[in-house]
Amino acid sequence: MARNDPNNRVQVATVSPEGTPAIRTVILRGVTGQGALFFVTDLRSQKAEHLAENHRISVLAWYAHTREQFRFTGKAEVHNGYATGQWAMTRAQLWTGLNEADRAAFLGPPPGRGFVAPHHVELPEAPPAEFCVVSVEVTEVDWLTVGPPHRRVHFRLMGNAWVEELLVP
Ligand SMILES: Cc1cc2nc3c(=O)[nH]c(=O)nc-3n(C[C@H](O)[C@H](O)[C@H](O)COP(=O)(O)O)c2cc1C
């Protein structure tokens, strides 16, 4: 995915407690050795609120030059200030790697509410409570290549094994 798009932009869909879908772009920050995708977000954001109620998530990537679409379906886990072990380390590293403007946003007014001008803030070395990493444990992948000819392959995790099926596009 990094080879296809160095900016690693993907779309992430969550579902509100009322059942309304919501989709937005995020930067995919990496993939673990176990195949979990992860991105960072603000704990006060709508997507984090949705995931607290319903951990189901869909991630979509489209690469124009290879004409491939990947749709990942899975379960999200939000790693906040209480994270331990590897996720605590990943969270700290991702915080350090963000530029100043992006870090400042996590210390500013809450996202998605009425506009309030942000005040100048000192940036802490350790990630603030608002900064969280969302990991996605993928259970299904739908891989579509837009031809001609079109080709669609569906992968489903059954226990520990991936089951692959060629589908009509
Ligand atoms: C190119 C691009 C990259 C973005 N990357 C992120 C990101 O990594 N994390 C994030 O929370 N929001 C990111 N956003 C902003 C989201 O798309 C969204 O507007 C914001 O997170 C609020 O979403 P929500 O209210 O549905 O939670 C990005 C937006 C764009 C256009």
Determine which residue's CA is closest to atom 3 belonging to ligand 1.
26
The answer to whether the CB of 69 falls within 8 A of the CB of 121 is no
Cα separation, 73 vs 71, whole angstroms: 7
Question: What is residue 1's predicted lDDT score, i.e. its pLDDT?
Answer: 73
Q: Which residues of the chain fall short of a pLDDT of 70?
A: none
47 close to 22: Cβ distance less than 8 angstroms: yes
Characterize 45-72 residue by residue with b for buried, 16 or more Cβ atoms within 10 angstroms of its Cβ, and e for exposed: bebbebbeeebebbbebbeeeeebebbb
**d(Cα 74, Cα 119) in Å, to the nearest integer?**
38
CA dihedral sign of residues 53, 56, 57, 58: negative
- The rounded Å distance from CA 17 to ligand 1 centre is 20
pLDDT at residue 5, as a whole number: 76
CA distance 57 to 76: 6
* pLDDT score for 27: 96
The ligand 1 site (C-beta within 6 Å) comprises 9, 22, 24-27, 39-42, 45-47, 111-112
Residue-range domains of the chain with CATH: 9-167 (2.30.110.10)
Span 146-167, pLDDT tens digits: 999 999 999 999 999 999 999 9
